Amino acid sequence: MSGIILCQSKYGASMKYAEWISEETGFKIVETKKADIKEVSKYDTVILGGGVYASSVAGIAFLKKNIDALIGKKIAVFCCGAAPYDDEILDIIKKKNMKDKLSDIPCFYYQGMWDLEGMKLGDKTICKMYVKMIARKDPAEIKAWERPFLEAKDKKCDWTDKKYIAPLIEFINAKEK
């Protein structure tokens, strides 16, 4: 089986997961922005990974644009964000990103990193506003996946863990029915 991992990583968590997936599969990694569909379509398996920003998966536009060229391929998407895994988060991401021809593609979510000081100004501003918004909520109304934002604040946090990729590796290795 041949495969490729397309990855768009802004702050490093998505690339870290892509590297772990590559270690397990032997698939090469290509930055999504540098990917050529003629090259990508030569592979049996295509994995696209990227960070989640305002519930959009970085790099998903490549898949949307080129899905017709990938018919018959085994395709999966992984994404990561600062929040811990939660079914609600995955549902929001799927509804926004995995529509129409992408609706049957499996999507996997992994917790990433948080480094407010390392963020670009726009991202930092949005994240600070988000944390303030959560902090103003009634504590009983704060969702479990929002709590890490309050705990992290200005700290540098790395919640990545190789164990999270296990279901994706299982999907890649599964025989087609």
What CATH number does the domain containing 17 carry?
Answer: 3.40.50.360
pTM of the full structure: 0.89
**77 pLDDT exceeds 80?**
yes
Long-range pairs for 117-126 at CB < 8 Å and ≥24 separation?
117/154, 117/156, 118/11, 118/156, 119/11, 123/10, 123/53, 126/54
One domain for residues 88 and 46: yes
Do residues 8 and 32 touch, judged by C-beta distance below 8 A? yes
Do 125 and 87 fall within a single domain? no
Is the pLDDT confidence value at 112 over 80?
A: yes
Give how many domains the chain has, as a whole number: 2
| Residue 72, helix vs strand vs coil | coil
The pLDDT tens digits for 128-140 are: 888 899 999 999 9
Contact between 106 and 78 under an 8 Å Cβ cutoff? The reply is: no
Q: Tell me which residue of 131, 85, 92 sits closest to 111, measured CA to CA.
A: 85
**Residue 105 and residue 149 in one domain:** no
Mean pLDDT of 115-126: 84
- 34 and 53 housed in the same domain: yes
Q: Strand 74-81 to strand 56-57: parallel, antiparallel, or no bridges (unpaired)? A: unpaired
Residue percentage of the chain with pLDDT more than 70: 99
Q: Are residues 40 and 11 in the same domain?
A: yes
Same domain, 93 and 104: yes
Distance CA 85, CA 34 (A): 29
**In the predicted structure, residue 141 carries a pLDDT above the cut 60:** yes
pLDDT higher than 60, residue 147: yes
Alpha helices in 26-165 (DSSP H): 37-40, 60-66, 87-97, 121-135, 147-152
Same domain, yes or no: 47 and 88:
yes
Does 20 share its domain with 101? yes
For 77-83, what is the mean pLDDT? 93
Q: Are 149 and 82 found together in one domain?
A: no
Q: What is the pLDDT of residues 21-31, one digit of tens each?
A: 999 999 999 99
Residues in Cβ contact with 17 at an 8 Å cutoff, skipping those fewer than 6 apart: 49, 78, 80, 110, 160, 164, 165
Residue 143 has pLDDT above 80, yes or no: yes
Domain extent, residue 118, equals 114-157
Distance of CA 35 to the CA centre of its chain: 17
In this structure, the answer to whether residues 143 and 108 fall within a common structural domain is no
pLDDT of residue 176: 63
What per-residue confidence (pLDDT) applies to 24?
A: 97
Asked whether 83 and 53 are in contact (CB, 8 A), the reply is no
Same domain, 165 and 135: no
Is residue 101 located within the same domain as residue 76? Answer: yes
Degrees, nearest 5: CA angle 39-40-44: 120
Mean pLDDT for the stretch of residues 12-41: 97
